[in-house]
C-alpha cells in the first residue's frame, strides 16, 4: 500500500458517540477519530469532549468544516470568515486543536460553472492553511463526496492539502473513481495522503452484499466474510491508506480491523476498474 500499512479511522457520521465504542477502538488499536462540525446535530465536538474528554488525547482527531446550522437544517458555505470561526470553535468545543481539519464537500458550493469558483476554492483552502500556521490544527485537507467539479479548479493558485478524503469501495462509480485519481495526481498526493470514506455506502446490510462476493478481490478471501472482503478491497478503489468507517458496535469494528490482514489481488481490481469504465461509456453513449 505505497509503503504504509492500511489503517482504520473510526468515523462518527451516524455514531451515538458512546464512550464504550471509543474504549473498544483503543483496545483494537484504532487510534484515529473522524468527525465533523455538523455531525450529531452540530453537537459532535461538545459531546465528545463531555463523554470522552480524557480519552481524546489517545486519538488523533480529524474534523470537517463547511456546513453551518440554520433554522431548518444546514447550509453549506465557503465564506472565509465563517470557515475561520468554525475552525476556532472546533478547537474550543473539543478542548484541543484537531490534528486535521478537512474542507467539507467544497463541491457543494462549486457545482455550477463560474469563473470565480477557482478563487472561492483557493480562498477556502487558504483559510485552513492559515489555521494550520496559527496552530489551530495540525494539518488540513479536503473531503469530497464528488470530486468531479473540483478538477477544473485545481491549479498552482490553490493551496495543496495534506490529505484528500474521497469515497472508496466497490459501490463507487467509474466517474468518481477516475475523478479522485485525477485530483490525487493534480495535488501530487502520495503515501499516507489519501483517505477513503463510506466503504459500504452507508449500510453493510444492503442486499447488494448478498449478491456480490467481494472475496474474489482477495488472494486469501476464504478466511474473511463478504463484508470484511469488501472493506479490504475498498483500500484499492481508489488507492487509499486510511478509511474512515462508522459503526456503533465494537464487534463490527473488530471485524473490520481483522480484515486488514487480507491481501488484495491487484489484477482483479484493475479488471474491475476497466469493467466499470466500459459500462460507464456504454451508458453514456
264: which DSSP letter? B
pLDDT score, position 205: 65
The C-alpha atoms of residue 37 and residue 93 are separated, in whole angstroms, by: 10
pLDDT score, position 37: 97
pLDDT score, position 1: 38
Supply φ then ψ for residue 193, to 5 degrees.
-105, 5
pLDDT score, position 176: 95
pLDDT score, position 107: 96
Whose cell is 462540525? That residue is 37
pLDDT score, position 165: 98
User: 126-168: per-residue pLDDT in tens?
Assistant: 999 999 999 999 999 999 999 999 999 999 889 999 999 999 9
The DSSP annotation for 140-194 comes to EEEEES--GGGTTT-STTSPPPSEEEEE-STTS-HHHHHHHHHHHHHTT--TT-E
The C-alpha atoms of residue 125 and residue 187 are separated, in whole angstroms, by: 13
The DSSP annotation for 30-66 comes to --EEE--TTHHHHTHHHHHHHHHTTTGGGSEEEEEE-
Output the average pLDDT for the chain: 93
| Residue with the larger pLDDT of the pair 101 and 112 | 101
Residue 2 pLDDT level (bands cut at 50, 70, 90): very low
265 touches 271 (CB < 8 A) = no
Q: What's the mean pLDDT in 57-73?
A: 96
Q: What's the mean pLDDT in 23-37?
A: 98
Residue 63 pLDDT level (bands cut at 50, 70, 90): very high
Residue 115 pLDDT level (bands cut at 50, 70, 90): confident
User: 234-272: per-residue pLDDT in tens?
Assistant: 999 999 999 999 999 999 999 999 999 999 999 999 999
261 touches 24 (CB < 8 A) = no
pLDDT score, position 281: 76
pLDDT score, position 231: 96
Residue 285 pLDDT level (bands cut at 50, 70, 90): very low
pLDDT score, position 217: 94
User: 193-243: per-residue pLDDT in tens?
Assistant: 999 999 998 666 666 777 888 999 999 878 899 999 999 999 999 999 999
Q: What's the mean pLDDT in 22-30?
A: 97
Q: Is this model's pTM higher than 0.85 or not? A: yes
Model confidence at 113: pLDDT above 60? no
pLDDT score, position 131: 98
Amino acid at each position: 500500500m505505497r509503503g504504509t500499512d492500511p489503517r482504520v479511522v473510526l468515523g462518527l457520521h451516524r455514531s451515538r458517540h458512546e464512550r464504550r465504542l471509543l474504549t473498544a477502538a483503543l483496545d483494537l488499536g484504532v487510534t484515529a477519530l473522524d468527525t465533523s462540525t455538523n455531525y450529531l446535530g452540530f453537537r459532535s465536538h461538545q459531546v465528545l469532549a463531555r463523554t470522552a474528554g480524557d480519552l481524546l488525547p489517545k486519538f488523533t482527531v480529524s474534523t470537517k468544516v463547511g456546513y453551518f446550522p440554520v433554522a431548518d437544517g444546514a447550509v453549506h458555505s465557503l465564506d472565509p470568515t465563517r470557515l475561520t470561526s468554525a475552525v476556532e470553535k472546533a478547537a474550543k468545543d473539543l478542548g484541543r486543536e484537531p490534528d486535521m481539519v478537512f474542507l467539507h464537500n467544497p463541491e457543494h458550493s462549486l457545482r455550477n460553472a463560474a469563473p470565480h469558483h477557482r478563487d472561492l476554492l483557493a480562498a477556502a483552502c487558504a483559510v485552513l492553511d492559515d489555521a494550520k500556521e496559527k496552530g489551530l490544527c495540525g494539518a488540513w485537507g479536503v473531503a469530497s463526496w464528488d470530486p468531479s467539479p473540483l478538477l477544473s479548479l485545481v491549479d498552482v493558485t490553490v493551496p495543496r492539502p495534506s490529505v484528500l478524503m474521497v469515497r472508496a469501495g466497490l459501490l463507487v462509480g467509474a466517474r468518481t473513481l477516475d475523478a479522485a485519481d485525477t485530483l490525487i495526481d493534480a495535488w501530487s498526493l502520495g503515501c499516507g495522503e489519501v483517505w477513503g470514506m463510506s466503504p459500504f455506502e452507508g449500510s453493510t446490510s444492503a442486499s447488494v452484499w448478498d449478491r456480490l462476493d467481494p472475496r474474489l478481490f482477495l488472494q486469501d478471501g476464504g478466511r474473511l466474510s463478504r463484508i470484511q472482503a469488501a472493506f479490504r478491497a475498498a483500500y484499492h478503489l481508489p488507492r487509499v491508506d486510511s478509511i474512515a468507517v462508522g459503526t456503533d458496535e465494537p464487534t463490527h469494528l473488530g471485524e473490520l480491523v481483522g480484515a486488514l490482514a487480507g491481501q488484495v489481488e491487484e489484477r482483479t481490481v484493475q479488471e474491475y476498474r476497466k469493467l466499470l469504465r466500459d459500462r460507464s461509456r456504454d451508458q453514456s453513449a
